[in-house]
Amino acid sequence: MKLNGELTDSLNFYMGHEPHDLIAKYGSPLYVYNERIFREKCRDFKHLCKYPKFVVNYAIKANSNLTLLKIAKQEGLRAEVTSIGEIELLLAAEYDACDIFFITNNATTAEMQYAIDKGITFSADSLSQLDRYGRLNFGGKVAARFNPGIGSGHHQGVVTGGEETKFGINESEIPQVKEILAKHNLTLIGINQHIGSYILDIKIFIDSVKRMLNIAANFDTLEFIDLGGGFGIPYHKQEGERPLDIAALGTALCEFMGDFSAKYGKQLTFMVEPGRYIAAESGVLLGNVTAIKYNAAKYIGTDLGFNVLMRPLLYDAYHGIEVYRNTTEETANTAQPPFPIKNEIVHIVGNICESGDYIAKNRNLPIIQEGDVLGVLDVGAYGFSMTSQYNQRLRPAEILIREDGAIQVIRRRDSYADLLRNMRVD
Ligand code: LLP
C-alpha cells in the first residue's frame, strides 16, 4: 500500500509490481527503472527541433547502464562521454565511433591517443590541451570547448561556465586557438560548450547559445556546434513544480540553427547533450526503513546511505520521497491506522558512519514505521552512476520494468566476492 504514492501511481511507474516484493526478490537498496519513461524522455529531445541536422548526444555520465545505453541508441540518440571507460561501455552497447563525442577535461596523452586510434571526435578544453593534441595528431581534426562566459546550475560544484571554473577556452583566446591550429595543421571541425547542470531558465541557456554563435563565426571550417546539456527536471514535482518548457526551448533553438547556418553559408550540425533530462525521472531508489529514533529531531533510519545516493550529501540535493507499507507484515498491526494519513517532519538518514549521511532533511512525510519501504524519486540520473562501495557496502542491483511490465535485472547486485576481486588476498 502506498501512503503517498500519487506520483508513481499517476505514471504507472511500477506497472502493478509491489515495491516490497521487488526488494524481497532483488535485494535492498534497489534501483528500479521504467523503460517507457526513459524512452519518452529520449523522444522529447529527439523531436525537440525540426532542424534537419539536429543531433542529441546522451551524456552517459548520468546513467551508463548498458541496457539503457542500448535503448537510447534505439531511440536515435548518440552519446557524449568524458572517459575511456564510458567509450568502452558504448562500444559494448554497439555504438559506432562516429556517434561518440569525447569531451575531455585535462586529458592524458593516452586518452588522446585512444581517441585518435578509435577515430572518435575529441574536444580539447584548454589551449595547452589543444597544443598537446596537435603534437599527437598533426593534420588531424579536432573540436574545442569554449567557455561562453555564462554559467548556471543547481550548485556551485556543477556550474561549468563563467569565470570561476576550470572548463573551456575563453573567447579572448581565439587568436591563440588559431595559432595552435595552424601550427599543427589541425582542422577545427566543431566547438562545444556546457554551462552547467540543472538549468530551468531557458533564457540563460539561450544567452549562452548566442555567445557560442558569436564564437563560431570566427572559424570557417566548422561542421558542428554543440550547445551542451544541463536541462533541468522538476525534483519538487510532488509539490506541483512544473517541468522545463521544452517546446519553447525547441522553437528558440531551431530558429537559431536555421539562421546561423544561413549566415555561415553551410548547414551545420547542431548538437545538445542532455544527461539528467533523459535519465532522472525514469528511476526510483527503493530502500528499507530499519530504525526510528529521536534526538533533537526524529530520524528515520534506512539502508539508503550516501554510498547508494550521493546527491543529497554532495549538493544538498532534493529528492521526493514516497512511503510504501506492506500491510501483510506483522508490523502493520502495531502501527497507527493508515487512514487518515498523518504527516510529520523527519530526517531520513542512511547507514553510513558519517553525520552527513542524509537522504532528506526536515521532510514532511506520512508517519513512517519500521518495515516500510521508501521510494526516492528521480534518481535515474547521477544516482547509480555515483554509487560507491564505501564502508564496504554492496552496490545495489538495477532492474528495468519493461514496457510490457516484465522485469529484467540489468545489473546484478554486488557480491561480497566483488569487494575482494581486485585486491591482493595472499
Ligand atoms: N555535457 C557535459 C560536457 C557535461 O559535463 C555534462 C554534465 C553534461 C553534458 C550533462 O549535463 P546534464 O544534462 O545531465 O545536466 N553529478 C551532478 C551533475 C554533474 C553534471 C556534470 N556534467 C548532479 O548529480 O547533479
pLDDT of 330 reads: 54
Atom 24, ligand 1: which residue's CA is nearest? 382
Residue 224 has pLDDT above 90, yes or no: yes
**Per-chain mean pLDDT for the chain:** 95
Judged by average pLDDT, the poorest of 23-27, 119-123, 159-163, 293-297 is: 159-163
Cis status of the peptide bond prior to 312, with omega within 30 of 0 = no
Is 161 touching ligand 1 by the criterion CB < 6 Å? Answer: no
Q: How confident is the model at residue 160 (pLDDT cuts 50, 70, 90)?
A: confident
Is 158 touching ligand 1 by the criterion CB < 6 Å? Answer: yes
Give yes or no for a contact between 30 and 288, defined as CB atoms under 8 angstroms apart.
no
List, for residues 102-141, the tens digit of each pLDDT value: 999 999 999 999 999 999 999 999 999 999 999 999 999 9
pLDDT of 91 reads: 98
What's the CA-to-centroid distance between 198 and ligand 1, angstroms? 8
- DSSP reduced 3-state for 168: coil
Mean pLDDT of 316-333: 81
- Which DSSP letter does residue 412 get? P
Which has the closest alpha carbon to 227: 217, 212, 207? 212
Residue showing cell 499517476: 10
Q: How confident is the model at residue 250 (pLDDT cuts 50, 70, 90)?
A: very high
Which atom of ligand 1 is nearest the CA belonging to 386? 16
What's the CA-to-centroid distance between 385 and ligand 1, angstroms? 12
As a whole number of angstroms, the distance between CA 213 and CA 209 comes to 6
As a whole number of angstroms, the distance between CA 308 and CA 396 comes to 7
Is 41 touching ligand 1 by the criterion CB < 6 Å? Answer: no
Residue 311 has pLDDT above 90, yes or no: yes
Mean pLDDT of 55-64: 98
Which atom of ligand 1 is nearest the CA belonging to 231? 13
Which has the closest alpha carbon to 48: 256, 261, 225, 246? 246
Substitution candidate for ligand 1 out of 83, 121, 273 with most atoms within 8 A of CB: 273
Element (H, E) at 73: helix 66-74
List, for residues 253-262, the tens digit of each pLDDT value: 999 999 999 9
Is 86 touching ligand 1 by the criterion CB < 6 Å? Answer: no
Mean pLDDT of 370-377: 97
What's the CA-to-centroid distance between 276 and ligand 1, angstroms? 7
Substitution candidate for ligand 1 out of 77, 102, 197 with most atoms within 8 A of CB: 197
List, for residues 190-202, the tens digit of each pLDDT value: 999 999 899 888 9
Which atom of ligand 1 is nearest the CA belonging to 382? 24
Cα Rg for the chain, rounded, in angstroms?
23
Is 59 touching ligand 1 by the criterion CB < 6 Å? Answer: yes
Substitution candidate for ligand 1 out of 83, 194, 272, 318 with most atoms within 8 A of CB: 194
Judged by average pLDDT, the poorest of 82-86, 158-162, 348-352, 417-421 is: 158-162
Share of residues in the chain with pLDDT > 70 (%): 97
Which atom of ligand 1 is nearest the CA belonging to 62? 14
- DSSP reduced 3-state for 393: coil
Q: How confident is the model at residue 336 (pLDDT cuts 50, 70, 90)?
A: low
Angle between helix 127-136 and helix 109-118 axes, rounded to 10 deg = 50
As a whole number of angstroms, the distance between CA 192 and CA 391 comes to 39
Which atom of ligand 1 is nearest the CA belonging to 197? 15
As a whole number of angstroms, the distance between CA 183 and CA 112 comes to 18
DSSP letters of 322-380? EEE--TTSTHHHHSPPSSSPPEEEEEEE-SSSSTT-EEEEEEEEEPP-TT-EEEE-S-T
pLDDT of 339 reads: 62
Residue 74 has pLDDT above 70, yes or no: yes
pTM of the model: 0.96
Residue 84 has pLDDT above 90, yes or no: yes
What's the CA-to-centroid distance between 120 and ligand 1, angstroms? 20
For the beta carbon of residue 185, count every other beta carbon within 10 angstroms: 11
